[in-house]
Structure formats: C-alpha cells, structure tokens
Amino acid sequence: MTLQRPAVLTDDFMRDLVARVPSTSGGTWKLTEVYTGEHLVDLPQSTPADIERAFATAREAQRAWAATPLRRRLAVFKRAHEIFVANALTTADLIQAESGKNRRMAVEESCDPPMVMSHYLKRAPRLLAPKRHGGPVPVVSHSTEIRQPKGVVGIIAPWNFPFATGISDAIPALMAGNAVVLKPDNKTALSPLHGIAMLEQAGLPKGLFQVVCGEGPDVGPTLIDNASYVMFTGSTATGRTIGERAGRNLIGACLELGGKNPQVVLDDVDADEWVASTLFGVFGNTGQICMHIERIYLPDSRYDELKQKFVRATAALDVRASYDFGPEVGSLVSVDQMHRVLSHVEDAVAKGARVLTGGRPRPDLGPAFFDPTVLEGVTTDMLCGVTETFGPVVALHRYRSVDEAVALANDTDYGLNASVWGGDLERAQAVAARIESGNVNVNDALATAYASKSTPSGGVKQSGVGARHGDQGLLKYTDVQNLAVLKKQVLGPRPGQDYDAYVKQMLSGLRMMRRTRLR
C-alpha cells in the first residue's frame, strides 16, 4: 500500500516539535504513523528529575504571568485563535499521522481549541473579576471573592483526542493565570506540541507551558506530586489511581473518564435522520470517542426496519487510510487497541452474540484497522455488554416499553453520555431527563453536548468527577480568596454592654437581616 504523507510532515518539522520535551537520560520512544506503522520521530522520555525541573521553570514563569493584567493575558488568546484557525490543516495532518483517525475527525478536533478560546475570551473577564458581597454586619462590613490561580496545573491527556484534551483543557487554566505541565500519551505527542508552539507564536511566555513525556506510571507520580491541580482525561481505572494520589496530596482533580454510552430510540423516530447521525455517533473517530454510543435500544414495533437500515448503512461505510476527506472511518490508534476490540467481539460471539456486519480486523488496510461492527444478542455476561470497548462496535437491543428502555440504559456503572431520538421533542426530552448521565443529546449522538461550551460537561457515576466547559471549566483552576473587611469593630458587646443585652440585640438583628434585602 502506498500512502502519500502530507508534505508538511518533514523530519525537521517533527524533530523541532519534540525538541521541547526534556530528557536528560537520552531515552526515546518510537512514535509511528498509525496508518502504516512507519517510524515518524524519536520522542524524548522525561525522567523524574526532568519533570521536577519542568515544574520549577513553569512555577517561575507563572509568577510573572499571574501578575500580568488579565486584558494582556487574554490578548495572547485572541492572536492564538487566528493562528490556530490559519494552521488547522497542518494540525489535522499531525493528528491523522499520530492517531490514524479520518480527515473529518482530525479537522474537527483542530477546531476545538479555537472554540474554547472564543468562549472563554468572552466569559473570563466576568468570571475572574473580584465580586463584592455583603459581610455579616450590614453597611460596616463586606467581603470580596477574589479568584486566584492555583499555580501549576498538571494535565494528563489520552490519545483519542490529543489536541483537544492537551490544548483545550489548558486554555482556561492559562487564562486564569496558571502555568501548565502537560503529559500527553507517547503515541500522540506531536499535535499538542504543535499547539504549544502556536500559543508561543501568539505571545504566550516561554516556559509557562511545559511538556513532559513518558509512560503514565513512570511520569504520573512525579507530575501529581508537583502539581497544584490535576486535569486528567482517560480510563476509569487510571482515573482512580490519579484521584487517589491527588487526594493524598490534598490537591483538586478533575477526572474525565470512560463510558458505556446508551442510545434510546423512540417509536416516532425519523429513521433516515437517525441512521445518518448515529453512524457518526457510533463509528466517528473509529469508535474511540469517550462519548460515542456502544448500546442502542430500539422499539420492538420498529426493530426490524431500523436494524436493517442501520446495518446496511454500516456495511457501506468507506474505511481506509488517507489524508484526504474520502474515508468515513479511519484506523484504530494501535495494534494493541485493535486486539482489545477483537477480544471483545470474539468474547461476545463465543457467548452467543451474532455479528450483523463487520467483526474482523482489516490488515489489508493497515496494521490497526477494524471493520465497523454491529452486534445483536449481547448480554451483560459479555465483555462488551458491560465494559467500554472503545472501538467501532455497537450492540442493538430490543425493548417493549419506554420504562424498560430507560432501565436498560441506566443499567451501567458509567454515566458519561447518552442519546435519545424521537419525533416528539417534548417526549424525547422527558425520556432524556430520566437517563443517569452527565450529558444527554436529544436527536443527536454526542456532538451537540460536547460543542455546547457554555454548559459544564462531565461524567457521573464511574465516568468522572468534575467537568470541563462552562463557568466551572475555568473556575476549577482557581482558588477563592475571601477578603473580608470590617470598617468598624462592632462584632461583640459594646463597652459596658452586658452579655444578655448583646445577645438580645444580636438575635433581633438576625430577624431584621432575614426581612431586609441588606446582607
């Protein structure tokens, strides 16, 4: 197979990108092009001492950055927005090479940081402005809520959206006056490194945004022990390890974890719209979107019709390696991930599930390709019945009543994303409200919730703690200083006043405060 790699991905370009990763040991990791398995660049690996030095440099740069007026900090992101948009296609080339995803998904990912910048450029001035409140005694006291940066935020990012999780999650942290030390996945370090170079081109001070690389268990402990806050995106198992360590260190952590996301299709659904959107919701990013759909519940009355349409459309998907917009589905991220997906399908088939289409690796297309797969007859004793497959595999289920569908959708330890489809929007929204999930999309699979940057987005149950986006997505990177001022010392009895009289006065004051608008 001959594949034309984009001309911009020269050896020099990639060597320049990885040059900012500190490594005194000289150890490297072979970063490869997923479509072909060919070597792209040697990625330096950071030792604990390298990580500590990265934090020291970031801490130093953070002091000056926090003292920079917010207006000037935000000006960097106004310029960065332009630069990111102008370079979106180069970013997409890097994302495709290191992750194997198709072009549409890579371009959409390259747009995520500009969307986040745009949102917080408008919102940050209000969120970060000191807010004055009344104090305990009206008129003579007040308190001001002051938002201070936490210091140096450690970000640990996965491979499935390396640019979005590595850069977008750093933007509100930086705007709030923090420094960042990022640990990307080794497989997908190039696009976030490119993002940092673009931020510096826009004027972000050198040293403020550091990158350290290595295997998670090697880098994680030193990173968490030096961080003022941890932003983690990845699997539930790793999230638990990160959360434990952050808890021991008494620092905050936002944990964005896995899912086993359900979709409930109501009997008044528009079949064609549902099929088109759900193909993306299931197979977008080759099924490696944390919010993608792995379980579909179809009404008994329309099961055969909907199944037939969905299976036919799945079988017709164009799956290939290419840096152009042709293929609708790309590769899985690695041969390991392909084996994980295969093991889920084999386990399901061995226990009685039926493959309606797909179900096999495609070595003819590249080392980590897997056919888009639809299963039927999946039960909770199968791996893919309860745990996240994280690949292009979905199970169809039949339900007889909406109550049964809701109960089945909620029968999971996860609660990241869900989708409800129906012609009657009010009815569909009422069903959506009954699903235990941090995100629920009505008449869409996932993109509407994810792209709604004004609303916090996170998981419930085993899918996470905290959220990105919305006010919370920026405020989590700040500590609150409660600056309280008493203009005259009136707390306590006046000179000569006995305690009984003082208590009486205080209690009547409490009643008065309840009745007046003064606080």
108 vs 185 by CB, closer to ligand NAD: 185
Q: How far is the CB of 236 from ligand NAD (least distance, A)?
A: 6
Other Cβ atoms closer than 10 A to 367:
18
Q: How far is the CB of 183 from ligand NAD (least distance, A)?
A: 6
Q: How far is the CB of 109 from ligand NAD (least distance, A)?
A: 11
How many Å apart are CA 65 and CA 473, to the nearest integer?
20
Query: Nearest-CA neighbor of 317 among 357, 289, 272, 273?
Result: 357
120 vs 390 by CB, closer to ligand NAD: 390
Q: Determine contact, residues 306/407, Cβ cutoff 8 Å.
A: no
Contact code string over 283-322 relative to ligand NAD, x by CB under 6 A: -------x--------------------------------
Q: Determine contact, residues 28/45, Cβ cutoff 8 Å.
A: yes
Q: Which of 185, 328, 371, 444 binds ligand NAD (CB under 6 A)?
A: 185
- Residue 444 binding ligand NAD, by CB under 6 A: no
Strands 252-256, 261-265: pairing kind: unpaired
- Residue 393 binding ligand NAD, by CB under 6 A: no
Bridge partners, residue 148, by sequence: 479
Query: Nearest-CA neighbor of 260 among 376, 375, 377, 417?
Result: 417
Q: Which of 14, 95, 176, 257 binds ligand NAD (CB under 6 A)?
A: 257
Q: How far is the CB of 238 from ligand NAD (least distance, A)?
A: 3
Contact code string over 446-465 relative to ligand NAD, x by CB under 6 A: -------------x----x-
241 vs 249 by CB, closer to ligand NAD: 241
* Catalytic residue (one of 256, 294, 328, 388): 256
431 burial (CB, 10 Å; 0-12 / 13-18 / 19+) is buried
Q: How far is the CB of 89 from ligand NAD (least distance, A)?
A: 23
Measured in degrees and rounded to the nearest 5, phi and psi for residue 28 equal -135, 165
Interaction residues for ligand NAD, span 398-427 (CB under 6 A): 416
Q: Determine contact, residues 458/291, Cβ cutoff 8 Å.
A: no
**Residues 6 or more apart from 348 whose CB is under 8 A from it?**
375, 378, 382, 383, 384, 385, 395
Q: How far is the CB of 277 from ligand NAD (least distance, A)?
A: 20
SS3 content of the chain, % helix, strand, coil (to 5): 45, 20, 35
Other Cβ atoms closer than 10 A to 296:
24
Q: Which of 95, 157, 171, 181 binds ligand NAD (CB under 6 A)?
A: 157
138 vs 216 by CB, closer to ligand NAD: 216
- Residue 158 binding ligand NAD, by CB under 6 A: yes
Q: How far is the CB of 104 from ligand NAD (least distance, A)?
A: 18
- Residue 258 binding ligand NAD, by CB under 6 A: yes
**Residues 6 or more apart from 27 whose CB is under 8 A from it?**
44, 45, 47
Query: Residues, the chain, total?
Result: 519
Q: How many residues bind ligand NAD (CB under 6 A)?
A: 27
256 is catalytic: yes
Q: Determine contact, residues 257/458, Cβ cutoff 8 Å.
A: no
Contact code string over 82-121 relative to ligand NAD, x by CB under 6 A: ----------------------------------------
Other Cβ atoms closer than 10 A to 96:
28
Contact code string over 209-248 relative to ligand NAD, x by CB under 6 A: -------xx--x------------xxx--x--xx------
Burial 27-60 (b: 16+ CB within 10 A, else e): ebbebbbbbbeeebbbbbbbbbebbbbbbebbbe
- Residue 470 binding ligand NAD, by CB under 6 A: no
109 vs 388 by CB, closer to ligand NAD: 388
Sheet holding 152-156, edge to edge: 209-211, 179-183, 152-156, 229-233, 252-256, 464-465
Rg, the chain, Cα only: 26
Other Cβ atoms closer than 10 A to 161:
26
Q: Which residues are catalytic?
A: 256
Which positions touch ligand NAD (CB under 6 A)? 156-161, 183, 185, 216-217, 220, 233-235, 238, 241-242, 256-259, 290, 388, 390, 416, 459, 464
